[in-house]
């Protein structure tokens, strides 16, 4: 059974499902129509994963304050974490796992607010499936890409022609809506107020990552590397079907973030 079939089966069995919608969603869907469609599908609540990103930021800042001489590499990007484990195992101890990724932090919020629910993360990323099943199986998160969500919408014949009046996130967070761009964590967490510019490296795009990781190993002054595996960040994740350029995708997210 693949994840599309798994999700369809959960709806058919009337499972208590909570949708966790990744911050890149404006590239693929209009708001608030997407919330109305998800509710019509049967989700009991729809949470903005930006809410979990607020927790991630708090945990990263707390980690750096608590360990003023330690050095960290960000860990919210599931694709990057897997690359480090495979190609740079000596850097695994530097991954900031004490901070939950936004997906994991939002799943914890969902479990707290809606006990017995199953979280369904909807985003642009296939690697998140591995993060959910290999690293956090206890949270029982089903991960769907936007492409897969479209297949579920199609199965239940839920198109865009429905009334979205009054639809809204059940839990929202505006300040972290730029998280899916390269440097999103640094920009939204206040990291620059804590570390000097020369102590931070911001990078996206898997081809550029090895050079930065090698610099991190050579230069002990670098205290934090903020990394996203996909070029430009999650707005360019493989689970998005879009003909938009990177700039056009960024604008969609910024327009939503600006309200
Ligand atoms: S940058 Fe790419 S691999 Fe990393 S979390 Fe985002 S979509 Fe997934």
**How is the chain split among helix, strand and coil, in percent rounded to 5?**
50, 15, 40
Number of compact structural domains in the chain: 1
Question: Does 253 reside within a domain?
Answer: no
Residue 209 CB less than 6 A away from ligand 1: no
Each residue's pLDDT expressed in tens, for the chain with a length of 259 residues: 899 999 999 999 999 999 999 999 999 999 999 999 999 999 999 999 999 999 999 999 999 999 999 999 999 999 999 999 999 999 999 999 889 999 999 999 999 999 999 999 999 999 999 999 999 999 999 999 999 999 999 999 999 999 999 999 999 999 999 999 999 999 999 999 999 999 999 999 999 999 999 999 999 999 999 999 999 999 999 999 889 999 999 999 999 998 7
Quick one: which of 44, 12, 20, 198 has its CA closest to 102?
20
Give the tens place of pLDDT for each residue, 127-157: 999 999 999 999 999 999 999 999 999 999 9
**What is the H or E stretch that residue 228 is in?**
strand 224-228
Angstrom distances, CA of residue 198 to CA of 4, 79, 194, 195: 45, 25, 12, 8
Tell whether 79 is covered by a domain: yes
Q: Is residue 243 part of a domain?
A: no
Residue 36 placed within a domain: yes
Residue 119 lies in a domain: yes
Entry pTM: 0.96
Rounded CA separation 132/153 (Å): 23
Nearest CA residue ID for atom 5, ligand 1? 77
Nearest CA to ligand 1 atom 8: 125
Put residue 190 in one of left, alpha, beta given phi > 0 → left and psi -120 to 50 → alpha.
left
Structure-block tokens of residue 237 = 């994740």
Contact 64, 190 (CB under 8 A): no
**Does residue 250 sit within a domain?**
no
Determine the atom of ligand 1 nearest the C-alpha atom of 128: 8
User: Domain range for residue 176?
Assistant: 3-237
Please indicate, yes or no, if residue 247 is contained in any of the structural domains: no
Ligand 1 binding pocket includes 146 (Cβ within 6 Å): no
Residue 84 lies in a domain: yes
Over the stretch 196-215, which tens digit does the pLDDT of each residue have? 999 999 999 999 999 999 99
Q: What atom in ligand 1 is closest to the CA of residue 239?
A: 7
């Amino acid at each position: 059974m693949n994840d599309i079939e798994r999700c369809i089966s959960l709806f058919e069995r009337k499972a208590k499902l909570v949708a966790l919608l990744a911050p890149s969603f404006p590239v693929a869907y209009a708001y608030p129509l997407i919330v109305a469609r998800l509710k019509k599908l049967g989700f009991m609540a729809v949470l903005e994963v930006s809410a979990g990103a607020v927790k991630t930021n708090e945990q990263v800042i707390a980690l750096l304050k608590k360990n003023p001489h330690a050095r960290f590499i960000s860990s919210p990007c599931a694709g990057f974490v897997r690359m480090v484990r495979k190609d740079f195992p000596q850097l695994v101890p530097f991954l900031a796992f004490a901070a939950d990724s936004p997906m994991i932090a939002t799943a914890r919020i969902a479990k707290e607010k809606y006990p017995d629910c199953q979280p369904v993360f909807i985003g642009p990323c296939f690697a998140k499936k591995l993060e959910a099943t290999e690293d956090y199986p206890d949270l029982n998160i089903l991960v769907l890409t936007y492409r897969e969500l479209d297949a579920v919408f199609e199965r239940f014949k839920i198109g865009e022609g429905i009334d979205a009046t009054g639809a809204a996130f059940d839990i929202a967070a505006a300040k972290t809506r730029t998280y899916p761009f390269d440097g999103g964590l640094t920009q939204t967490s206040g990291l620059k107020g804590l570390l000097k510019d020369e102590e931070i490296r911001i990078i996206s795009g898997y081809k550029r990552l090895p050079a930065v990781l090698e610099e991190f190993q050579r230069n002990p002054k670098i205290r934090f590397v903020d990394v996203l595996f996909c070029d430009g960040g999650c707005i360019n994740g493989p689970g998005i079907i879009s003909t938009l350029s990177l700039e056009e995708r960024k604008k969609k997210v910024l327009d939503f973030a600006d309200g």
